[in-house]
Amino acid sequence: MDAKPPLIEQVRACQICADHLPFPPRPILQFDSQARILIAGQAPGKAAHRAGIPFNDVSGDRLRMWLGLSRDEFYDPTVVAILPMGFCYPGTGKSGDLPPRPECAPAWRGTLLDGLGQLELTLVIGRYAQAYHFGSTQATLTELVASWRQFWPEKVPLPHPSPRNNLWLKRNPWFERELLPEVRSRIAEVRAR
Ligand code: SF4
């Protein structure tokens, strides 16, 4: 009798929504059962799809700076798991990248999260991930991020680190002044265990 391949190989071979994707499926995720930190994001963009590497751009540079992690630390799957809501690039619509494919999270997310037995901190980026990890809410991004103490110390809502959010960052200086130092301390604490 054939044994099932390991979970991560099953994900990498996934074709569930292939008919709806602009390119053949290329799931972009980082996973190891030892990871204590999870970045829960939206879906890879075209650059991540091409490179096969998540957050390998200016948004990723800003995210690493926010978290106080080097590239080596960020891309060490035993330190950081990266699980977007949709693992494959969903394509682009009239107003930017399309939402994560809705088939993905029901197919894989629960099982992968169950496999993160050491998880201590989840950083949640983008409204689809925020709806999944915080439950559906009417709160705006600003309201949700401002209520970060409500979820502390297990989960933290973050804005997307894209340069498109520069204005948001300028309008909400408390984010970099108050929240980010706490996040960096928390990450250092989690990593020191
Ligand atoms: S987006 Fe998710 S469900 Fe769709 S093919 Fe990729 S891994 Fe499979």
Cα distances from 54 to residues 57, 78, 83, 89, 187, in angstroms, run 8, 16, 10, 11, 20
Average pLDDT over residues 104-123: 98
Parse the chain into domains and list their residue ranges.
Answer: 32-192
Residue 146 tokens read as: 């401002």
Average pLDDT over residues 85-97: 94
CA of 103 to the centre of ligand 1 (A): 7
Does the pLDDT at position 1 exceed 90? no
Longest dimension (CA), the chain: 60
Q: Is the CB of 146 under 6 A from ligand 1?
A: no
pLDDT at 2: 59
Residue from 10, 12, 14 whose mutation best tests the ligand 1 pocket (most atoms within 8 A of CB): 14
Q: Is the CB of 98 under 6 A from ligand 1?
A: no
Does the pLDDT at position 123 exceed 60? yes
Residues 6+ apart with CB under 8 A from 26: 49, 52, 88, 89
Q: How far apart are the first and last CA of the chain?
A: 41
Gap between the Cα atoms of 35 and 19, Å rounded: 32
pTM, 2 dp: 0.95
CATH classification number, 32-192, choose in 3.60.40.10, 3.40.470.10, 3.30.360.10, 3.40.50.1110: 3.40.470.10
Nearest-5° Cα angle at 59, 33 to 131: 60
Residue from 21, 85, 103, 112 whose mutation best tests the ligand 1 pocket (most atoms within 8 A of CB): 103
Does the pLDDT at position 64 exceed 80? yes
**Minimal-distance CA residue to ligand 1 atom 6:** 88
Residue from 104, 109, 132 whose mutation best tests the ligand 1 pocket (most atoms within 8 A of CB): 104
